[in-house]
Structure 1
Amino acid sequence: MKITERLAEFVASTPTAVIPPDAREQARRAVLDTLGVMLAGSREEASTKVAAFVREQGAAEEAAVLGHDFRAPANAAALVNGTSAHALDFDDVSVTMRGHPSVPLLPAVLALAEKLGSSGSELTDAFVLGFEVECKLGSMIGGPHYALGWHPTATFGTLGAAAASARLLGLDVDGTRTTLGIAASLASGARRNFGSMTKPLHAGWAAHNGLTAATLASRGFTADDEALEAPDGWLHAASGGAPIDRSPIERLGAPWEILSPGIDVKLYPCCYFTHLSIDAALEISADIGKRSAGIESIRVSVSPGTMMVLRKEPPQTGLEGKFSLEYCVAAALVDSDVSLASFEDSAVARPDVRALMNRVRVTEDGPAAAAPIGGSAVVTVAFDDGEPISSRRVDIPRGAPQNPLSWSQLAQKFRDCAKPNLNGSQGEAAIQLIQNLDDVPNVRKLVAAFRTDPVHA
């Protein structure tokens, strides 16, 4: 069977009962995490600029723009909410997608579900199925696609959001196939823009474009039936002509990507390729206390391929700091913490941190990664007073599926992110609704829990 056809059949025809309870639980965890980082990101400049752009357009008030004080057409709300959710780089990761799976999906299905009055169970179905599509596509061409400079969150994310939106709209196989065909011409995003406002915009456009593709298909718009797999189709173009592994298309839901390999939840609001090194640096910091000023040298050994994603130049802004391994390690050693505050422009400019950054040497001589994203990191610190060298190795970051956060830890991350937007009782009410998402009769009830007096215009 053709790839586009098989994906469309899977999305349109999979019954709710086939989606296992533990997959639905993982979806609820992803919804909680993504809504939290969405609220936190709504305060970032990238979000406020896109919100201002959308507000100026006017038009139908179909869905809430979370963290802001207005409503917009569903696809426009998805654009802002997707940008917000990725603005801090605090959102979850899929190793097979090689990107961020939830930030294209949730903004699209949340806005559409609010517009349609869909149930929480219907939203969950769409989320899990869209997740499966974007990650299985990532398994097919992810390596060469990434190496060519594409941003998978923007590309696979558009196709996943399109599939999820088609499901929520109740499109049949033909309509879903058309949706994927339209989305194939809307899926784009370049890694060169990492460290700028355009990176989070990628997630916003992916949500917007996926929802737009499904909406157009529902109105009779046309697209080629083989837009993904044809020789001049998206998969060949997006892989640079490299061989396409078609086997994942025969394994849809076997296993479910949301369960295996699962979702990596971020504890730090920066590029995931820095997290192993941050964990190691924080372990050292816990041992040495406030002695970072006496550090003579820092050696960081990471797995091959790590630095392809990260900045080589010293960061000048907080956004650039999110992609600087040297900065992240230095901040962890100086502050014994890496948090939202670590990526303010003023934090990156601190003289003591910049001095320590200059003592960091990174080499890609660690063990090869077993997964597309991962590997190991070893951080070794030497002191100028002859004190014993301190070294730590980390192979599995906190928040990975093999080292997961509990629901209570995830809920605390949500509270920390949402605190400026929601008071205590509002936050707890939202957490309870998400924990029981399958029982929510209308997603508008969930969205209503996030309506607040805005902290910014």
Structure 2
Amino acid sequence: MIETHSSTSRIAGFIVETVYEDIPPEAIHIAKQGILDWLGVTIAGASEPVVAIIAQYAKGLAAKMEASGICQGFMTTAELASLINGTMGHTLDFDDTFANAVRYNIHPTTCILPAALAVTERLSLSGRDLILSYAAGMETTYRIGAAIGQSIPEIGWYPTPILGTLGAAAACAKALRLDVSQTCSALGIASSLASGLKKNVETMTKTMHAGNAARNGVIAATLAQSGFTGNQSVLDGKISFCEVFSGGRGPDMVPVDDLGKEWWIVSTGLGFKPYPCCRATHPAIDAILYLKQRYGIRPEQVASIICKINPLVLGMTTAHRPKTAYEAKFSMEYCIAKSIINGEITMRDFTDKAVQESSWQYLIPHIHFEHPAQWGHGAVDLLTEIVIRLDSGETYAYKVSVPKGEPENPMSQDELIAKFRQLSSSVFEGKKVDELLEIIQGLDKTTTLKKFFEILRKPPS
């Protein structure tokens, strides 16, 4: 029985009743930016070892051909395609996050969009259908995250797959055109499939968290369509999704009063990454690059670098002497050293060979950290100040509170397109990159996505 005033039923009602014309133009614009950014990052991650393992697993099952493994050269079931593509989209740690204004950390698109893409391809839906299902999944995730996002990591869960599983289920429920009761069931089923431990963050399993969330979203909505039931008010009350995954700290209801009236993808926004590494390193990188460009600082001039930072944020970057590309993404020391040496941070910096070179390691003893007591202590309090003292005695300092890519300090459309071109060019020739870009920018006018999926399916040469 549906409790008509529960937050679960109100979210389900929003998912079912919302049509494309209800989405504000700015929300459509940001949704298309999210799709563009994620696809570039995903294409660039196609040859990573973790992707090869997941893709080989799926290929070995010889499953029904419903949806494409991006850059894998084969089709498989929608759920397995979601697993592959969601994992691929998270493997470089270059994918989007919710804006820091939400006060918790999650990578939403790489859970939601792969599920929406798989069902869109399976059902031969349009570009508008894809945008609508993605937007429905994002708004659902924003609302549930607002209730418990800050509490999830405090008890050992990794927020991306916990919240992303429900977002993926919401997106698929919309694409499958479920009714309200079915959509409530899809959310209920997804709530029991949601999982992901912080303990696994430093392993390949971190990237699979996102793929598993996408896959479970497809499973939950598909089962609900077939009459499989889940709790109809799973987000509400005692032993609910919100209570369990917040350790009892969550509210009784998810904030839904303005659902469908205010679109949080606009009012809160998305954070896009200009650098392929942990978001906690970005303010320091921004500050180093500013000082280097402004004052022409050369690495051989540096006597010391002091990084003033919230200790909790620094604690997210645990690899102090990284030995692999993956560890380097979570190394404040590495990102600071490479920034002062190269004057940029790019994909080229995150290979095992680059990390194992000695050219940057001499700077490690010169990098020090301070934790001003008056600064914030939350996981998204990213205020960072870099103070560089030269051998000459000169000292230069710069403070960054909002890193590049946040809605308050956004990457421009041209910068996002340049990022997409650079990343997708690692697999596709220029003409195919142009075709993909044209399709994404015109998604709202595209009635068939057959050509789009045919291009995406092509493996790296």
CA distance 1:321–1:237, shift in 2 (3 Å): same
Q: 1:422 aligns with which of 416, 424, 428?
A: 428
Report deviation, 1:362. Answer: 2.3
Q: 1-side partners of 2:292 and 2:220: how far apart?
A: 49
Q: 2-side partners of 1:358 and 1:219: how far apart?
A: 61
The residue aligned with 1:130 is 137
The residue aligned with 1:307 is 314
Deviations 1:225-267 (A, max 9, x none): 2222241222111101114273622232343121121011100
Q: 1-side partners of 2:260 and 2:362: how far apart?
A: 50
The answer on 1:65 being equivalent to 2:69 is yes
The residue aligned with 2:56 is 52
Amino acid at match of 1:265: F
The answer on 1:263 being equivalent to 2:267 is no
Structure 2 residue ranges without an equivalent (≥5): none
Q: 2-side partners of 1:239 and 1:280: how far apart?
A: 35
Report deviation, 1:392. Answer: 1.2
The alignment of Structure 1 onto Structure 2 pairs a total of residues equal to 454
Q: 1:249 aligns with which of 256, 261, 267?
A: 256
Q: 2-side partners of 1:380 and 1:366: how far apart?
A: 17
Report deviation, 1:115. Answer: 0.6
Q: CA RMSD in A?
A: 1.9
Q: 2-side partners of 1:231 and 1:245: how far apart?
A: 8
Between 372-381 and 263-272, the greater mean CA deviation after superposition:
372-381
The answer on 1:336 being equivalent to 2:343 is yes
Q: 1:445 aligns with which of 448, 451, 461?
A: 451
CA distance 1:119–1:142, shift in 2 (3 Å): same
CA contact (8 A) 1:110 1:443 kept: no
Q: 1-side partners of 2:320 and 2:382: how far apart?
A: 23
CA contact (8 A) 1:270 1:323 kept: yes
Report deviation, 1:307. Answer: 2.5
Deviations 1:316-347 (A, max 9, x none): 21111111112111111122111111111122
CA contact (8 A) 2:339 2:345 kept: yes
Report deviation, 1:451. Answer: 4.0
Report deviation, 1:355. Answer: 2.3
Q: 2:359 aligns with which of 352, 358, 377?
A: 352
CA distance 1:322–1:217, shift in 2 (3 Å): same
The residue aligned with 2:17 is 13
Q: 1:88 aligns with which of 73, 76, 92?
A: 92
Classify the secondary structure of the residue corresponding to 2:97.
coil
The residue aligned with 1:318 is 325
CA contact (8 A) 2:36 2:440 kept: yes
Q: Structure 1 runs of 4+ off > 6 angstroms?
A: none
CA distance 1:402–1:7, shift in 2 (3 Å): same
Report deviation, 1:276. Answer: 0.8
Structure 1 residue ranges without an equivalent (≥5): none
Q: 2:279 aligns with which of 248, 256, 272?
A: 272
Q: 2-side partners of 1:296 and 1:372: how far apart?
A: 30
Classify the secondary structure of the residue corresponding to 1:258.
helix
CA contact (8 A) 1:196 1:320 kept: no
Amino acid at match of 1:321: A
Deviations 1:367-413 (A, max 9, x none): 64599634321111122x22411211112222211222222221110
Q: 2:109 aligns with which of 102, 107, 112?
A: 102
Between 296-305 and 131-140, the greater mean CA deviation after superposition:
296-305
CA contact (8 A) 1:301 1:366 kept: no
The residue aligned with 1:28 is 32
Q: 2-side partners of 1:401 and 1:243: how far apart?
A: 27
Deviations 1:185-221 (A, max 9, x none): 1111122222321111111111111111101111111
Deviations 1:100-143 (A, max 9, x none): 11111111111110010011101111111100111111110111
CA distance 1:247–1:105, shift in 2 (3 Å): closer
Q: 1-side partners of 2:266 and 2:110: how far apart?
A: 18
Amino acid at match of 2:42: M
Report deviation, 1:148. Answer: 1.9
CA distance 1:191–1:370, shift in 2 (3 Å): closer
Between 291-300 and 182-191, the greater mean CA deviation after superposition:
291-300
Deviations 1:123-172 (A, max 9, x none): 11111110011111111011111222222111101100000000000000
